[in-house]
Amino acid sequence: MVKRLGVVLVLAFACIASGAEPPKLPAPKAPAVPEADGYVVIPDASVPPSRSHVYKAIFDSTQGSDDPKAILPALNMLGSELNAMAVAGVPSKNVKFVVSFHGPAVQGLLKDDAYRKKFGVSNPNIPVLKTLRSLGVELYVCGQFLAFEHVDTATLSPDAKSLSILFDEYQVAAGGDSKKSFNDTEALNARSTRARTCIAVSESPPRSK
């Protein structure tokens, strides 16, 4: 162990002495959803995004944002994937994404006046929701949660449709042959560690996830 550590230190000092720098990656790009994390193109990636495959995913949004000025974790994750698709040149018709909102994440759907009344700031999710709709993303909110929590639907953005959940979500999922499901707890962990899978969505058959 000591010998191995010595070798590592020698190599580290050698790099410093030679002035070697780690290779610089391109800056992240966010052409589709600017509010979300950008996509970094990895040169000579073993499995780059494919323009010919249909990517399908359901993003399960349950977590609210720790900062009311920041967008929901699930929207950030979804937006970052859309940025990746846009940078890679994947046509919009080959991107089939769905978001299902439950629990604290529903607060991110509040209309701006209701959100400002609750948090004291404008709702940063509103422009993102509109962008996602324009990009063909389907947005659904859990009707069961709204019923049990007595949420006034008049206070929510009209960009999200109500589902009876869970059966309706199964029907949405059944609309395709192969999907990857994202939970926003993963999104929170991924954003903090930057360990998010690059284009971690399943492809349409004949390939499996």
**Within a 13 Å sphere around the CA of 100, how many CA atoms are in the beta-carbon half?**
22
Name which residue leads in pLDDT, 43 or 185.
43
What the chain holds in terms of domains, given with CATH numbers, is: 55-203 (3.40.1260.10)
CB 69 within 8 A of CB 121: yes
Bridge-partner residues for 148, per DSSP? none
Q: What share of the chain is helix, strand, coil (3-state, %, to 5)?
A: 40, 15, 45
Strands (E), 22-137: 55-61, 95-101
- Model pLDDT for residues 62-103, shown as the tens digit of each residue: 999 999 999 999 999 999 999 999 999 999 999 999 998 989
Using 50, 70 and 90 to split pLDDT, how confident is the model at 58? confident
Using 50, 70 and 90 to split pLDDT, how confident is the model at 120? very high
For the whole prediction, is pTM greater than 0.85?
A: no
* Least confident span in 35-44, 53-62, 122-131, 190-199: 190-199
